[in-house]
Amino acid sequence: MATVQQTPAVSVNGSGADGFPVQNPATGEIIRTVPNTSPDEVAAAAERARAAQPGWEALGFEGRARILRRAQKWVIDHAERIIDTIVSETGKTYEDAQLAEIGYAAAAFGFWSKMAPEYLADEKVRTASPLVKGRRLVIRYRPVGVVGVIGPWNFPLTNSFGDCIPALAAGNAVILKPSEVTPLTSLLMLEMLQDCGMPENVFQVITGTGETGAALVDHVDYVMFTGSTKTGKKVLARAAETLTPVGLELGGKDPMIVLSDADVDRAANLAAYYSMNNGGQVCISVERVYVEAPVYDEFVGKVVEKVRALRQGKPVGPGTVDVGAVIFPPQIDTIDAHVKDAVAKGAKVLIGGKPAEGEGRFYEPTVLVDVDHSMTCMTEETFGPTLPIMKVADAEEAIRLANDSPYGLAASVVTKNTARGEAIARRIESGVVCVNDVQINYTALELPMGGWKSSGLGSRHGANGIRKYCDQQTVLVTKLAPKKDLHMFPYSARNTKIFGKLTGFLYGRGKRD
């Protein structure tokens, strides 16, 4: 494993003595110690951000985009160093870091630089209201000021730093609190932005524990949180104290439905890949599969064959392993508890089924059958390399079971009849549904990505992915006007009669059944 070279976090004041170690989950090695930022230091960081923000906003879209485009090039020029950093603190494979993190960040810098002026341009509005006809009506977007981004450990670049990019493009100062398990990539992004000429304190990283994240909520104008539903609720409750708006991207239990007319090879490849990529630690992983009875045996056979061929272990470069480590130490117990609970209730393990032996923290790629909704592996987020597969009588049963979940993040349907697939997709209670695909919607930054039910509030990407970081202001300008409008004081029977007639004329003449 290449050594991670990093400069200290220049924008944090936490003392090294009070820091915490960052471990490589694939080897157990301690890579570095980072500061634990105290609540007082968080408040000071927010003050610095607030002072720096107006200058950043004043640069305008083009001035900000210049720096963000430099960062895009930096990501490409330093891709190997970023991948080394991600791999060292997550134990994920080279490809999981390259495809889903480097690829995402490089695209996102270009996308938000280009789209920010369009999504945040003044909108001229035409109205049907007779009272404001002839006035200039404008919706205008203004950056909220200071945005706090709190991120998880599964994608330290994409899901922690990724949300900072549109917030910055909009003209905000940003304070990022990465997961204590994976702070190094965020610190490298800080170094990157400094190298690219980002004005001081416009972007800061505060390393620390949950307490640091909680303190950040108190000091910012918008909180963008990605993480578990449990912590998301705490963030929402805390933000209520200051009436701070919050975006929540939370957990999922994504179902895949395989219909009997599916291309079974593609279905098996989709299921095997999208349940095991990134070690299954993807919020939009395939977490459960429902297969129509006629193709069940064939599908299960093909999935097991593919999962059996997977190579797992310490990643030492491109193409060396397929499934990486379990990033967060307690997660391995959750995964194992779900498998054990399923087995105790009658499920069969076709492959895997236990933590891997040897160096590092790994869970064997696992396929479970004979599962049902009495088992946690079908109802709670497992977040590991496991795939429970359930036989169903028909699509109706599959839809009912897919919707039998508190979560609603993403889902997929596999069928050769795409019209039927789309009709089924529209009946699934989920923020995203792909037909004959999984997860790749995430690469289309034009498409909103957000969870329904307990999977979140709001969305990232698309117009809302940047407008949420702004206050929306309605501006109404009256140029030519009489001294007094008809509806103003004093009320008179004559004017009231005119308004009554006008209302009837405008709204009372339409055809009705």
| Contacts of range 195-198, beta carbons closer than 8 Å, 24 or more positions apart | 195/74, 196/67, 196/70, 196/71, 196/74, 197/67, 197/70, 198/67, 198/71
The dihedral of CA 157, 163, 164, 168: what is its sign?
positive
Of 67 and 432, CB closest to ligand NDP: 432
Tokens 């939009």 -> residue? 284
Gap between the Cα atoms of 276 and 366, Å rounded: 9
For residue 406, the minimal CB distance to ligand NDP (Å) is 12
For residue 316, the minimal CB distance to ligand NDP (Å) is 26
CA angle 130, 134, 138 (to 5 degrees): 100
Gap between the Cα atoms of 436 and 414, Å rounded: 5
Of 228 and 260, CB closest to ligand NDP: 228
Backbone angles phi, psi at 167, to 5 degrees: -65, -40
For residue 285, the minimal CB distance to ligand NDP (Å) is 8
Q: Cα 129 to the chain's mean position, in Å?
A: 39
Of 117 and 210, CB closest to ligand NDP: 210
Q: Which of 249, 287, 364, 380 is catalytic?
A: 249
Of 213 and 465, CB closest to ligand NDP: 213
Gap between the Cα atoms of 513 and 511, Å rounded: 7
Of 171 and 213, CB closest to ligand NDP: 213
185 is written with which tokens?
């990539």
Which of 114, 459, 439 is CA-nearest to residue 273? 439
For residue 80, the minimal CB distance to ligand NDP (Å) is 24
Asked if 298 is an active-site residue, the reply is no
Q: Is 390 helix (H, G, I), strand (E, B) or coil?
A: strand
| Environment class of 357 (CB within 10 Å of its CB; exposed 0-12, middle 13-18, buried 19+) | exposed
Q: Is 502 helix (H, G, I), strand (E, B) or coil?
A: helix
For residue 329, the minimal CB distance to ligand NDP (Å) is 11
| AA letter at 187 | L
Q: Which of 283, 377, 434, 470 is catalytic?
A: 283
Of 250 and 402, CB closest to ligand NDP: 250
Gap between the Cα atoms of 287 and 327, Å rounded: 18
The dihedral of CA 458, 476, 171, 121: what is its sign?
positive
Which spans of this chain sit near ligand NDP (rule: CB under 6 A)? 150-155, 159, 177, 179-181, 209-210, 213-214, 217, 226-228, 231, 234-235, 249-252, 283, 328, 381, 383, 409, 451, 456
For residue 72, the minimal CB distance to ligand NDP (Å) is 22
Of 57 and 380, CB closest to ligand NDP: 380
* Residue spans of alpha helices (H) in 331-485: 331-344, 376-379, 395-402, 418-425, 464-467
Which of 195, 189, 154 is CA-nearest to residue 175? 189
Which of 480, 477, 445, 479 is CA-nearest to residue 464? 445
Asked if 118 is an active-site residue, the reply is no
Of 82 and 239, CB closest to ligand NDP: 239
For residue 208, the minimal CB distance to ligand NDP (Å) is 7
For residue 50, the minimal CB distance to ligand NDP (Å) is 20
Catalytic residues: 249, 283
